[in-house]
Amino acid sequence: MKSQRPTQAKNARRLSDAIIAKRYLELQRLRDEVRKTEPSRAMDAPYSSKDRATTTKPITRAAMALIVAEIVVAILACGLHVSTAQAATVIFSASGGTAAGIQSTVDAYRADLGTLNMNVAGSFGSGRREINWDGVPDASAAPNNLAANFFNVNSPRGVVFGTPGSGFQVSANASNPSGTPTLFGNIDPTYPTQFQTFSPQRLFTAVGSTSVDVNFFVPGSTTVSLTNGFGAVFTDVDLANTTSLTFFDASNVSLGTFFVPAQTIDASLSFLGVDFGSAVVSRVRITSGNAALGAGLTDGGGRDLVVMDDFIYGEPTAAVPEPSTWAMMILGFAAIGFMAYRCRQNGTALRIA
């Protein structure tokens, strides 16, 4: 199923648009006020080398303020345009009793993100990456924990995990040399009947927590990156409005929380994928159910245990400062330049503590 983004995400983007628009109007007013007080020649007439030799009146403070205001207004206008263009967020969601019940929606999300890229270092700039856990070696799977940066170092796909729990675990496969039970049966013997895979044989979970943060980097590096979308397959989502994806931008501002569809069938599969239309996502927080896996803990009585299978996400690309950030940087440099100019006029030295 494909749908437009929910009200919460719309409100987050509208708030960002409103802030940029407010700043844009304020700078416009400042610019207009300075224009009223500044002689037209200083800003409108061409300034030639001859002018430089014969003009004794230096550029005024008002003219300098007008130059800065014009630059920032232009950049904030660009930011408003970009922010508006990013509003076309699309959600892909489905649930079912078997892999076939969600396959078409997963494939539609894959097609939406683009071509599957190789698991190598560096960014392809477009397309998508995937993690299905099945290639994780036995030494990094249950009963052992998975390194948080495994999919940025060992198999470079541009993600590093975080959790308030004690770590991460990938379930064992049927042929593991230690004889560890599959589907997290090493944690509780009932789990192999409670969960199923979308792509056999391994699943993924945080240890001691329901929360996993997915942080994006240019694959194989420590360079923070952005992606245009992220989706995941979950198994045994029983309760509505419990399992979710929360997206954050480069400034750690929430882009919205999206809930994974639930199913009343035991060991069901659910998929949720979100595409923001452009690379604005720096981190995704996954909330899986409302209780962490543990010995003797099973579904029931309001408890919903959920684990994850495939991750699908847009190619991580190097983060580029937003127009509003550029505006603040340029404003700062312009202020320093103006201070230096004034010091030269007064015959004093510029000191920056």
For the chain, percent of residues with pLDDT exceeding 90: 64
DSSP character for 300?
A: B
Q: Per-residue confidence at 87, pLDDT binned at 50, 70, 90?
A: low
Torsion from C-alpha of 208, 209, 210, 211, nearest 10 degrees: -140
**Which candidate, 281, 180, 153, 164, places its Cα nearest to that of 229?**
281
In this predicted structure, which of 28-37, 180-189, 241-250 has the lowest mean pLDDT? 28-37
DSSP character for 182?
A: B
Which has the higher per-residue pLDDT, 111 or 39? 111
Tokens 């543990």 found at = 294
Which has the higher per-residue pLDDT, 103 or 338? 103
Q: What local confidence, expressed as pLDDT, does residue 277 receive?
A: 94
290: left (phi > 0), else alpha (psi -120 to 50), else beta?
alpha
Q: Which two tokens stand for residue 108?
A: 């539609």
Classified as helix, coil or strand, 233 is strand
| Dihedral pair phi/psi, residue 249, rounded to 5° | -90, -175
Integer CA distances (angstroms), 336 to 34, 93, 259, 323, 340, in order: 20, 51, 47, 20, 6
The residue-averaged pLDDT of 116-131 equals 97
Tokens 């495994």 found at = 150
**Which candidate, 258, 313, 310, places its Cα nearest to that of 281?**
313
The residue-averaged pLDDT of 229-258 equals 97
Q: Are 245 and 257 in contact (CB under 8 A)?
A: yes
How many degrees, rounded to 5, is the angle at CA 236 between CA 230 and CA 242?
Answer: 65
In this predicted structure, which of 30-39, 84-93, 224-233, 271-280 has the lowest mean pLDDT? 30-39
Q: Is the pTM of this model over 0.85?
A: no
DSSP character for 295?
A: T
Q: Are 258 and 244 in contact (CB under 8 A)?
A: yes
Q: What local confidence, expressed as pLDDT, does residue 36 receive?
A: 61
Q: What local confidence, expressed as pLDDT, does residue 88 receive?
A: 80
Q: What is the pLDDT of residues 157-187, one digit of tens each?
A: 999 999 999 999 999 999 999 999 999 999 9
Q: Per-residue confidence at 31, pLDDT binned at 50, 70, 90?
A: low
Using CA atoms, how far apart are residues 8 and 245, in angstroms rounded to an integer? 13
pLDDT above 60: residue 352? no
The average confidence (pLDDT) of the chain is 82
Q: If residue 22 lies in a helix (H) or strand (E), which one and from where to where? A: helix 7-37
Torsion from C-alpha of 248, 249, 253, 256, nearest 10 degrees: -50
The residue-averaged pLDDT of 213-226 equals 98
Q: What is the pLDDT of residues 143-160, one digit of tens each?
A: 999 999 999 999 999 999
Q: What local confidence, expressed as pLDDT, does residue 240 receive?
A: 96
**Bond before 201 cis per omega within 30 degrees:** yes
Q: What local confidence, expressed as pLDDT, does residue 64 receive?
A: 60
Q: Per-residue confidence at 41, pLDDT binned at 50, 70, 90?
A: very low
For the chain, percent of residues with pLDDT exceeding 70: 66
The residue-averaged pLDDT of 4-31 equals 52
